[in-house]
């Protein structure tokens, strides 16, 4: 019993029945025990955080509450009645809404159509377009999200899609709301708007289950915290009665002394990537920067500032209208990602499953995907022995946890998936690596592993760009910070001589601090 804190599932005060009570919940998939006898309860008007490493069972537990999975054993009481929801629609009808970590939107439909998908207001047999748009606008306004309800989702950034997913859940007016990594793509400012909504929901008696790997943000809104490890319940405490360090130690089964690795002391070299006057109408304009060998350059800014758009253009995923790119002093003509890859530029998208991995394919196929020629025989066929040896080399080098090279990537944790993407580009001998929110949705232990890999890449002379909405991450991992505001790169700061306040001043368009 660590530090004298209770390690049961927490007790609701006498006379106050919990909104949700789980006891002995177990879930087994073929060959995998995801949950083993988990107890958990949630009160009305409470935010109860569930913490654990990737693979600890958090999402599986939420999917049981939300009707996605049926438990293999155990009881679920909702509003005092034993229930077993057969589908998400049945759970929604009972007043349970879930914001999934993996966004569940239909790309070709509009924002408004996604928010009310399957529940569209009607006028007779026809959809009431006016009511649909007005309802969506009200949900977006509640979040302070400046998003056009008529805009197609496929044109939105990841952060905007995250806000649409949250608005969709709010539109259900649920009594129990599950939030699985709701701030993973949001800036600090956007997260604060969400926390304001959460406080309003608490005051209205809504019970909220909150999952986040951004442990520091829990102090803002969380009442109690439950820790899971390896599918088992470890501890439940009032947040005020514990510390972040204790929570982390319970999650990983050991003390985690550092959030960021000590950077390897290697002097930065010559300029490896130079961008001059990059412009794409409606996204960014006149962006210039230089990235040196062995440097980690941060891209910071608010949602819509143009950070991701610049990275995608450098990689050839989106067209440039003007400006020049050069690598190692050689002028580049990048028309598509193949040109960028050939030049030694790699891009690790924030949407790793949709744009970084072939999730139904196995680990070995994903690791070699960007450089199949290196494992081909003289006849042009894949050499099975060379293919397996190359994949195993990167599994060992990067510490990828997988039962076998043939394991489908979709079954691995987010941290291991991210390592596979890094391995894929290392196998291609990338000279420049653009990391777009690389720690989105992964736990503290996996974050440290990703940071350590980034440091090793820089120490090898690779130029690294880190795009992040987490300013502590920017300050903890970069040498310099390029700050974006409304499509312009407004300032490049020396990380050792700046802080969050100065970065936010520039990111908000106010310029530097006085004095």
DSSP string, 4-65: G---SS--PPTT---SEEEEEEEEEETTEEEEEEEEEEE-TT-EEEEE--TTSSHHHHHHHH
Cβ-contact 436, 349 below 8 angstroms: yes
Helices (H) and strands (E) in the chain, counts: 17, 22
Exposed / middle / buried, residue 146 (Cβ in 10 Å: 0-12, 13-18, 19+): exposed
Domains of the chain in sequence order: 1-95+177-255 (3.40.50.300), 101-173 (no CATH), 258-344+430-515 (3.40.50.300), 358-426 (no CATH)
**Are the CB atoms for 469 and 159 separated by under 8 Å?**
yes
Q: Helix or strand or coil: residue 399? A: coil
Residue 300 β-bridge partners: 483
DSSP assignments along 246-276, one per residue: HHHHHHHTS----SSPPPP-----SEEEEEE
Distance CA 11, CA 48 (A): 13
Is the separation of the CB atoms in 169 and 117 below 8 Å?
no
As a whole number of Å, the CA-based R_g of the chain is 24
What token pair was written down for 247? 């929570």
Tokens standing for residue 453: 């890999």
Task: Output the CA torsion 418→420→424→427 (10° steps).
Answer: 120
Q: How many whole angstroms from its chain centre is CA 366? A: 20
The encoded tokens of residue 325 equal: 């790119």
SS3 330: strand
- pLDDT score of 14: 44
- Contacts by residues 499-507 (CB-CB < 8 Å, ≥ 24 positions apart): 499/475, 500/471, 500/472, 500/475, 503/300, 503/471, 503/474, 503/475, 504/188, 504/471, 507/300, 507/301, 507/302, 507/305, 507/483
Helix ranges (H only) for 66-109 are 88-93
Which of these, 50, 62, 393, lies nearest to 237 by C-alpha position? 50
> Residue 100 has what pLDDT?
78
CB 436 within 8 A of CB 347: yes
3-class SS at 82? strand
Positions in the chain short of pLDDT 50: 1-15, 513-515
pLDDT of residue 65: 95
């Amino acid at each position: 019993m660590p530090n004298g804190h209770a390690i049961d599932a927490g007790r609701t005060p006498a006379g106050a029945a919990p909104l949700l009570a789980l006891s002995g919940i177990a879930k087994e998939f073929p060959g995998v025990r995801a949950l083993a006898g988990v107890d958990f309860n949630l009160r009305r008007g409470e935010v109860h955080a569930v913490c654990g490493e990737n693979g600890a069972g958090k999402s599986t537990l939420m999917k049981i509450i939300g009707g996605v999975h049926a438990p293999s054993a155990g009881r679920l009481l909702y509003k005092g009645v034993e229930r077993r929801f057969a589908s998400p629609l049945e759970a929604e009808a009972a007043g349970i809404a879930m914001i999934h970590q993996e966004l569940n939107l239909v790309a070709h439909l509009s924002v408004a159509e996604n928010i009310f998908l399957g529940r569209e207001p009607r006028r007779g047999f026809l959809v009431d377009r006016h009511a649909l748009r007005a309802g969506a606008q009200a949900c977006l306004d509640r979040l302070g999200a400046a998003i056009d309800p008529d805009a197609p989702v496929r044109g939105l950034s990841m952060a905007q899609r995250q806000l649409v997913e949250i608005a969709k859940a709010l539109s259900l007016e649920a009594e129990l709301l599950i939030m699985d990594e709701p701030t993973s793509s949001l800036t600090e400012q956007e997260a604060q708007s969400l926390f304001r909504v959460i406080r309003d929901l608490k005051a209205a008696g809504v019970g909220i289950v909150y999952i986040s790997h951004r442990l520091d943000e829990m102090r803002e809104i969380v009442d109690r915290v439950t820790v899971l490890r390896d599918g088992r319940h470890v501890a439940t405490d009032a947040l005020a009665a514990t510390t972040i360090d204790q929570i982390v130690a319970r999650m990983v089964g050991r003390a985690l002394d550092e959030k960021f690795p000590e950077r390897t002391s290697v002097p930065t070299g010559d300029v490896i990537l130079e961008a001059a006057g990059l412009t794409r109408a409606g996204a960014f304009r006149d962006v210039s920067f230089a990235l040196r060998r062995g440097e980690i350059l941060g891209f910071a800014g608010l949602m819509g500032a143009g950070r991701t758009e610049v990275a995608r253009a450098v990689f050839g995923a989106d067209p440039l209208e003007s400006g020049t790119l050069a690598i190692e002093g050689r002028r580049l003509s990048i028309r598509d990602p193949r040109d960028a890859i050939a030049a030694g530029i790699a891009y690790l998208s924030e949407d790793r499953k949709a744009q970084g991995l072939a999730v139904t394919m196995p680990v070995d196929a994903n690791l070699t995907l960007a450089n199949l020629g290196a494992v081909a025989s003289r006849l042009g066929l894949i050499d099975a022995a060379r293919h397996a040896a190359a994949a195993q080399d990167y599994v060992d080098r990067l510490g990828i946890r997988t039962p076998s090279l043939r394991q489908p990537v979709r079954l691995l944790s987010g941290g291991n998936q991210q390592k596979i993407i890094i391995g894929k580009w290392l196998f291609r001998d990338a000279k420049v690596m653009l990391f777009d929110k690389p720690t989105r949705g992964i736990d503290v232990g996996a974050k440290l592993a990703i940071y350590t890999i980034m440091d090793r890449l820089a120490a090898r002379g690779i130029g690294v760009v880190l795009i992040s909405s987490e300013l502590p991450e920017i300050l903890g991992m970069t040498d310099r910070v390029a700050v974006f505001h409304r499509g312009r790169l407004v300032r490049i700061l020396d990380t050792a001589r700046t802080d969050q306040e100065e970065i936010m001043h520039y990111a908000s368009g106010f310029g530097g601090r006085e004095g």
